[in-house]
Structure 1
Amino acid sequence: MRVDISLLPALAAAFILVFARIGAMVMLLPGFGESNIPVRTKLAIALALTLIVLPLHRSAYHVDMTSLTSLLVLMVHEIIIGIVLGATARVTLSALSVAGSLIAQQLGLGFVTTVDPTQGQQGALIGNFLTMLGLTLLFATDMHHLVIAALADSYKVFGPGEVLPSGDIAALATRAFAAAFKIGVQLSAPFIVFGLVFNVGLGLLARMMPQMQVYFVGVPLSILGGFLILAVVLTTMMGTFLDYFGEIMRQLTP
Structure 2
Amino acid sequence: MLSITTAELNTLLATFIWPFSRILALVATAPILGNPSIPVRVKLGLAIMLTILVTPTVEKSLPQIDPSTGLGLIILLQQLLTGIAIGFVMRIVFVAVEMAGELIGLQMGLGFAIFFDAQNSGQIDIIGRFLGVIASLAFLAIDGHLMMIALISQSFSTLPVDAKGITDTTFTTLVNWGGEIFKSGLQLSLPVLTALLITNLALGILTRAAPQLNIFAVGFPLTLSIGLLVLALSIPFYAPILGRLVYDGLNLIMGILNISQMNMP
TM-score for both structures, normalised by structure 1: 0.91
Q: Amino acid of the residue matched to residue 98 of structure 2? A: S
Query: In the alignment, is the contact (CA less than 8 A) between 1:63 and 1:71 conserved in 2?
Result: no
Q: CA deviation at 1:7?
A: 5.5
> Partner of 1:27 in structure 2?
28
Q: Distance in 2 between matches of 1:164 and 1:110?
A: 42
> Partner of 1:42 in structure 2?
43
State whether structure 2 residue 225 is matched by structure 1 residue 224. yes
> Partner of 1:202 in structure 2?
203
Instruction: Provide structure 2 residue ranges, at least 5 long, that are not aligned to the other structure.
Output: 260-265
> Partner of 2:214 in structure 1?
213
Q: CA deviation at 1:27?
A: 0.6
Count of residue pairs the alignment pairs up = 253
1:145-194 deviations in Å (ceiling 9; x for gaps): 22112212333553321424433222221232111221111000101111
Q: Amino acid of the residue matched to residue 198 of structure 2? A: V
Q: Distance in 2 between matches of 1:66 and 1:86?
A: 24
State whether structure 2 residue 86 is matched by structure 1 residue 85. yes
Change (3 A) 1:48 1:209: same
Q: CA deviation at 1:114?
A: 1.7
> Partner of 1:252 in structure 2?
253
> Partner of 1:57 in structure 2?
58
Q: CA deviation at 1:21?
A: 0.7
Identity of aligned residues (%): 29
> Partner of 2:263 in structure 1?
none
Q: Amino acid of the residue matched to residue 148 of structure 1? A: I
Q: Distance in 2 between matches of 1:180 and 1:161?
A: 32
State whether structure 2 residue 179 is matched by structure 1 residue 178. yes
SS of the residue corresponding to residue 188 of structure 1 reads helix
Q: CA deviation at 1:3?
A: 11
State whether structure 2 residue 120 is matched by structure 1 residue 115. no
Q: Distance in 1 between matches of 2:198 and 2:158?
A: 48
State whether structure 2 residue 82 is matched by structure 1 residue 72. no
State whether structure 2 residue 186 is matched by structure 1 residue 147. no
TM-score for both structures, normalised by structure 2: 0.87
Query: In the alignment, is the contact (CA less than 8 A) between 1:30 and 1:118 conserved in 2?
Result: no
Q: Distance in 1 between matches of 2:166 and 2:29?
A: 21
Q: Distance in 1 between matches of 2:245 and 2:92?
A: 12
Query: In the alignment, is the contact (CA less than 8 A) between 1:14 and 1:63 conserved in 2?
Result: no
Q: CA deviation at 1:128?
A: 0.6
Query: In the alignment, is the contact (CA less than 8 A) between 1:35 and 1:120 conserved in 2?
Result: no
1:200-228 deviations in Å (ceiling 9; x for gaps): 11111111111101121011111111111
Instruction: Supply the RMSD in Å over aligned alpha carbons.
Output: 2.2
Q: CA deviation at 1:10?
A: 1.6
Q: Distance in 2 between matches of 1:150 and 1:130?
A: 26
Q: CA deviation at 1:136?
A: 2.2
> Partner of 1:101 in structure 2?
102
Change (3 A) 1:59 1:218: same
Q: Amino acid of the residue matched to residue 237 of structure 1? A: Y
SS of the residue corresponding to residue 15 of structure 1 reads helix
Instruction: Provide structure 1 residue ranges, at least 5 long, that are not aligned to the other structure.
Output: none
State whether structure 2 residue 15 is matched by structure 1 residue 18. no
SS of the residue corresponding to residue 110 of structure 2 reads coil
Q: Distance in 1 between matches of 2:68 and 2:145?
A: 37
